[in-house]
Amino acid sequence: MILLLTASVKLFLHHPEKMQLLLGYILQHAKTSNNLSLKKLASIYHYFLNNYNIAQKIIGT
């Protein structure tokens, strides 16, 4: 699931209009997961994605 989350975030940075709904769904499920690492990563990605320009610089390709 961590790989799916990471890949979805990277795809979102390239195609935000196509990935917004799917990424929202994945982030929602990741944040409610029992996997603590997945929860933390989802929270970090969500924080960065609130500012698209910063996210693109930090997470980008």
SS3 60: coil
Would you state the pLDDT for residue 61? 55
Q: What is the distance between the alpha carbons of residues 2 and 55, in angstroms, rounded to a whole number?
A: 18
DSSP 32: T
Q: CB-based burial of residue 48 (10 Å sphere; 0-12 exposed, 13-18 middle, 19+ buried)?
A: middle
Expressed as residue numbers, the domain containing 9 is 1-60
Q: What is the pLDDT of residue 27?
A: 97
Q: How many domains does the chain have?
A: 1
What token pair was written down for 41? Answer: 């990563």
Per-residue pLDDT of the chain (61 residues; tens, 9 = 90+): 999 999 999 999 899 999 999 999 999 999 999 999 999 999 999 988 888 777 778 776 5
DSSP secondary structure code for residue 34 in this structure: S
